[in-house]
């Protein structure tokens, strides 16, 4: 069964450094999402992406964040200058547009980011 994959599984970085989190969505999916989950808290929406542009973003997704689909398979989340409060699990998700299943997002395993 196709899966969303994410790399790396864990990332440790110094405050102020740039990080890029990578995701490979399910191959025929067209809609892509990033979420984050601070330890012990709920999952929060960051951004959705369709047709090579951001379709929605939350207030969390400020100028420090950017997303990109550099090729036909990868979907990346970049944090330009990390802060301590960016430490969280980051989930990528994707969904297709097939009738009857297009509403369901499939999540990757997550990247655990720790900012020191």
Partner 1 sequence: AQTVTQSQPEMSVQEAETVTLSCTYDTSENNYYLFWYKQPPSRQMILVIRQEAYKQQNATENRFSVNFQKAAKSFSLKISDSQLGDTAMYFCAFMNPGNQFYFGTGTSLTVIP
Residue (of 4, 13, 2) closest to 78 by Cα position: 13
In the bound state with partner 1, the residue whose beta carbon lies nearer, of 26 and 80, is 26
DSSP strand E in 10-102: where? 10-13, 19-24, 31-37, 43-50, 53-57, 65-68, 75-79, 88-95
Site residues (CB under 8 A) for partner 1, limited to 5-34:
31, 33
Of residues 14 and 41, the one with the C-beta less far from partner 1 = 41
- Residues 46-85, mask of contacts with partner 1 (x by CB under 8 A): --x------xx-----------------------------
């Amino acid at each position: 069964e196709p899966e969303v994959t994410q790399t790396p599984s864990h990332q440790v970085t110094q405050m102020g450094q740039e990080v890029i989190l990578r995701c490979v969505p399910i191959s025929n999916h067209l809609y892509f999402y990033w979420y984050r989950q601070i330890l012990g808290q709920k999952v929060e929406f960051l951004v959705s992406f369709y047709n090579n542009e951001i379709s929605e973003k939350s207030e969390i997704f400020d100028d420090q964040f950017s997303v990109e689909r550099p090729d036909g398979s990868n979907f990346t989340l970049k944090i330009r200058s990390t802060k301590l409060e960016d430490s969280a699990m980051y989930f990528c998700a994707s969904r297709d547009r097939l009738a009857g299943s297009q509403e369901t997002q499939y999540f990757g395993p997550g990247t655990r980011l720790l900012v020191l």
